[in-house]
Structure 1
Amino acid sequence: MTTMKREYSYLLQVGALFLNLRPKWRYLSILQLVIYFTIPIYFMYSAVLTTIAWGDDLNNIATTVHYTTLLLITDIVLVAFIYYRARIADLMRITGNNYYTYKDGFQSSKEEMWKKRDRKLKIILIVAVPLYFSLCVVVGLVIAPNLDANKKSSTNADYINNIYMKSPVPMVFPFEINEEATYFFSTLSQILAGMVIALVIAGADLVLIFLSLGVGFQMNILRDAIQNIDNRALKVFNEIYKEDSKKKTMKELYDDGRFMKLIDWCIKQNVEHHKVISRAFEHISEVGKWPLGAAFFFVSAAIAFALFSFVSSSQIIAQLLSLMLLSAEVWNMLIISLIGQQLTDMSEGIGNDLYDLKWRYWNKSCKVSMLIFKERLKRPLVILAGGLTPINMEMFAAVSQPLRCIINAVFNQKLINPLK
């Protein structure tokens, strides 16, 4: 819990992504999970009924289906994080132990620079992402209904095709709303649903991004350790064999069996570091596999719905909300794809770092250790959406290509028929 609070504040607990099962908080945490899981199911059922009730009103159907995808992703995220609780706990242990400590005392000279860079990015994300999601909720559930109510074009009818029009988001409710109490309950339930979506999806996004940044940070340290393997071995050699080290050149050291043993020892430490990184990455990949798979599977449809609502709606506030959700989804995809691409590139770069070493001067034992290490690197660190598709910039390009086509088609239609 200490590592969790230090690295992620209360993101995991507020989003019901990692329950606090200590006796004092156990029942409250379980109740929180039940509420977070039940609310999206309830509104998904209402959304299906609402979509059917809208008939041929494509604009409102697009908006309703868009919200439904967000509700579905919310429950998928909750299931994945609860199911892989043991993996998340192991990730917290690995993070709390700082992954790996080199026995030769190696510490990268660039470590502080990387820490500051990642810390700045984390602060920006931890402030911007929840704030932006919360703003979307406020715009959609508070500002939009008030503005629409003041417009002359807004309907005075309470119900249209069994859809209650006076709630923040017009929907079919399983009860009749004809008094203040039921109106208050319907409004409060929609506000809670918006908060659950924001807390769960934003929390999962941030946690996966922060964990991936941690793996990237360790990959940088590993690569720096490999690039400085001669200096690491030389430092230890100087400490053990002080007199001999002063009289030897690097060429002579490569012929010295004692120095080669230290090189071999340093390689094995790199292998151990890489094992810990791979274990952490495997946990992240498993935890994020289905949420990211669902997000990338539904995101094209969700973006299309948001874009359709943005262009076809005559209400400015509805257009604003659609544009805000569209921007959040595209940026979310881009950030995750960039991090996935970066991790894959760094993983492949380790093999190049090994090849650039002066291994041709090493003895057979060191060469064998290096080849074993290279065999382990043949399987690069790749995050798979749904366990099938690699998450990288190529995938982002594939997803955004239809988006560009949709944008061109919709805006061309808007230009041809500007009054529609």
Structure 2
Amino acid sequence: MEILEKRFNCYLMDEVEKFIMKEFHYVLQVSAFYLYLRGKWIYFSIFQFILYLFILGTFIIIVFYTMVLMKDFQLSIAVQAFHIMGGASMTVNISLWMNYNRDILSETFTIFHSKFYQYDESFDSKMVEPWLEEVQIFQKNMFLYVSFILFAIGLQVIVGGPIEDMLQGTVIEETYIINVYMKLPIPLYFPFLITNNIVKYMCLVYEIIVAFVVLSVLGTAAIFMLYATHSVNVQFRILIYSIKNIEQRALNKCKVKYNDFKTYQNIIALYSDPKFTKEYEQCIKENVQHHYQILRVRRE
């Protein structure tokens, strides 16, 4: 376990981990999107990850077999099974990719924690502070919006589907069609007969657990992508602002560093001063470094 902990936590600092918890709370851990691999929690996290994959793997097999059985008898149910299987398969791919590339994710969180790039005192940060506050406001709204959408989707599958069938008069009265049990929100084939309510409710709980895993992983992926996209958008605005004011930034650097720096009435005359051109080049380097950090997040 020590080898595993070193392998997956070598890119993550304690302050970055605190930042993750502050920004995303326990969402990343509950969905197994970014597991907590510290101390004794590593055992629970590994068990959680394997359990999620086992649940999703068995569900995909069951749904696939259901689709094969129903394609010649109930095409609508077969199509529904195909769509659900696609969502579950996407969930598995996201879970595997994110945990396999944990180092990339850790590096991205480190950039978020450092606020991409910190300019020195020559940069007027008062103009960009409202933009940074937008990220915090957007984050709160994002959690509420995505949570509401996922809850509505889950409610539609579990409750809305049967009610819609009843109102449209398309309720299937048969308990079984070609070994597919029809009395669940998602009709499925099970390798055993459902002969009493206890087994029926156990199968219902199984579907609810699968729905929770799928929605939590897809929801977390959506939250992360929205957070990253909005953060990158704000950083591009900051970068554009700093480039537009690059001459003023260079001038501010000169005033701080050089007591004998001359004041020019014409901004063009500044370019003949080697002190100004030196600081101007430094400002360009800062913008390049800032842009590089933004591109790293976009690429990763």
* TM-score, with structure 2 as normaliser: 0.87
Does 2:293 correspond to 1:276? yes
Amino acid at match of 2:74: D
Q: CA deviation at 1:202?
A: 0.8
Picking from 101, 110, 115, the partner of 1:84 is 101
SS of structure 2 residue aligned to 1:252: helix
In the alignment, the residues of structure 2 paired with residue 45 and residue 165 of structure 1 have an alpha-carbon distance, to the nearest angstrom, of: 18
In 1: Cα distance, 2:83 partner to 2:178 partner: 20
Alpha-carbon distance in 1 for matches of 2:296, 2:277? 29
Comparing 140-149 with 158-167, greater Cα deviation is found at 140-149
> What CA deviation, in whole Å up to 9, does each residue of 1:292-321 have, x standing for no partner?
xxxxxxxxxxxxxxxxxxxxxxxxxxxxxx
2:193 maps to amino acid: E
Question: Deviations for 1:28-58, whole angstroms, at most 9, x for unmatched residues?
Answer: 1112111221222212111111112211422
RMSD value over aligned CA atoms? 2.1
Amino acid at match of 1:2: K
Matches within 5 A, 1:21-420: 21-54=37-70, 55-145=72-162, 148=165, 154-246=171-263, 249-283=266-300
Which of 22, 35, 54 is the matching residue for 1:6? 22
Does structure 2 retain, via aligned residues, the 8 Å contact 1:12–1:207?
no
Residues 134, 195 of structure 1: 8 Å contact kept = no
CA distance in 2, matches of 1:273, 1:38: 42
* Residues in 2 aligned to 1:229 and 1:212: alpha-carbon distance in whole angstroms: 25
2: CA distance, partners of 1:120 / 1:105: 27
Q: Which residue of the partner structure matches residue 14 of structure 2?
A: none
Q: Contact (CA 8 Å) 2:264, 2:270: kept in 1 or not? A: no
Where 1:21 maps in the other structure, the secondary structure is: coil
CA distance in 2, matches of 1:189, 1:233: 63
Deviation of 1:99 after TM superposition, in Å, equals 1.7
- Decide whether the 8 Å contact of 2:181 with 2:190 is kept in 1: yes
Describe the SS at the equivalent of 2:38.
coil
Letter in 2 for 1:48: F
Counting aligned pairs with the same residue, the percent is: 27
**Match of 2:275, as an amino acid?**
R
- Contact 2:162 / 2:171 at 8 angstroms: preserved in 1? no
1:97-141, CA deviations, whole angstroms, 9 ceiling, x for partnerless residues?
222112354144431222233333322221111221122112212
State the 1:145 CA deviation. Answer: 3.5
Say whether the 8 Å CA contact 1:163–1:172 is kept in structure 2: yes
| 1:8 positional shift | 1.9
Q: 1:150 to 1:231 in 2, by over 3 A?
A: closer
3-state DSSP of counterpart to 1:246? coil
Shift of 1:80: 1.0
Rounded Cα–Cα distance in structure 2 between residues aligned with 1:113 and 1:198 = 33
- Asked if structure 1 preserves the Cα contact closer than 8 Å seen for 2:247 and 2:280, the reply is yes
Residue 147 (structure 1) shift? 6.7
Q: Deviations over 1:353-395 (max 9, x none)?
A: xxxxxxxxxxxxxxxxxxxxxxxxxxxxxxxxxxxxxxxxxxx
Identify the range of structure 1 (226-235 vs 152-161) with the bigger mean alpha-carbon deviation: 152-161
* More displaced 10-residue stretch of structure 1: 211-220 or 16-25: 211-220
Equivalent pair of 1:237/1:245 in contact (CA under 8 Å) = no
Unaligned runs of at least 5 residues, structure 1: 284-420
Rounded to whole Å, the distance in 2 between the matches of 1:156 and 1:273 is 63
Residue ranges of structure 2 left out of the alignment (5+ in a row) = 1-16
Contact persistence 1:230–1:263 (CA under 8 A) = yes
Task: Tell me how far 1:9 sits from its aligned partner.
Answer: 2.3
Task: Please give the per-residue CA displacement for 1:160-181, whole angstroms capped at 9, x wherever unaligned.
Answer: 1111011221111122111233
